[in-house]
Amino acid sequence: MGVKLDVEIAGIKMKNPVMVASGTFGCGEEYSEVMDISRLGAVVTKTVTLEPRQGNPPPRICETPSGMLNSIGLQNDGIDAFLKNSLPLLAKFKVPVIVNIAGDSLNDFAELTKKLDGQPAVKGIELNISCPNVKKGGMLFGCAPDSAAEVVKSVKKMTALPVIVKLTPNVTDVARIAMSVEAAGADAVSLINTLIGMSIDIETRKPKIATATGGLSGPAIRPIAVRMVWNVAQAVKIPVIGIGGIMTAEDAIEFFLAGASAVQVGTANFIDAEASIKVIDGIKSYLGSRKLSGIKEIIGKIRV
């Protein structure tokens, strides 16, 4: 028998546990020209909002040691354009589509969910209550247990689709937030979103991105992400999806050992369009070389 990579996350059946993270893959159109998207476990879309957003002014990306700062500001064409233009394209890839949504209010989240509910191509919803680069919504919801739970409740009333909550690392106790959204009905949690960071040009004495601060991602944050996944996996019973600086299969395996049931590859997509595919192949090779039958044999198997 071969190595089994298939997993089921909150009712979403995936051929392997590797997804692409929101905001790093668009809706797949560009990547479809250079990689086989059908090999992915799932595609998590760029964040969709109720109305179109222009995002933040440039410059809004800069490189940092072992990472990058971004302050895109959730630029997108809005839910109606997404349903008309992007979702039909995503449906062609024959992989589960998880739509990442964000709003300025509980009503925004509810309305977005209402529009997505019943769409055959949509297999799950990921709630972005953790973006550090917007003035409304974002971390204002995700930094407190009560407000995070209220978002989940408003969404769960509108759909039977699996609801995944994307958590921010910019809190004192991420496990407490995770337990709160679990109690409110979340079907899974994903973490971490970016850490708030800053970089300054010492010649101009100005921040390197227009909004001064932005979200730090990439390998620099991976040890923090692994630790937080480990904390949360011990605190909740729902599936945990690990995110943060995954560049290789070895990186992903750290998250599985820490307790993640699946992972999302993000910043690596900007460097290598096939990074997620290489992670999938590497996980399979790792399991096979150790005579392990499937991914479930290493989830949470850290030896502390």
Rounded CA-CA distance 158/132 in Å is 26
Q: Choosing from 27, 62, 131, 143, which is the catalytic residue? A: 131
* 176 membership: H or E segment, kind and range: helix 174-184
Question: Amino acid letter at 67?
Answer: G
Give residues with Cβ within 8 angstroms of 105, minimum separation 6: 137
169: which 2 tokens?
């690392």
27 is an active site residue: no
CB atoms near residue 156 (< 10 Å)? 18
CA distance 162 to 144: 22
Structure tokens, 218 = 């990439």
Instruction: Name the residue type at position 178.
Output: A
Question: How many residues are present in the chain?
Answer: 304
On the 0-12 / 13-18 / 19+ scale of CB atoms within 10 A, 205 is exposed
CB 45 within 8 A of CB 293: no
SS3 88: helix
Which residues are part of the catalytic machinery?
A: 131
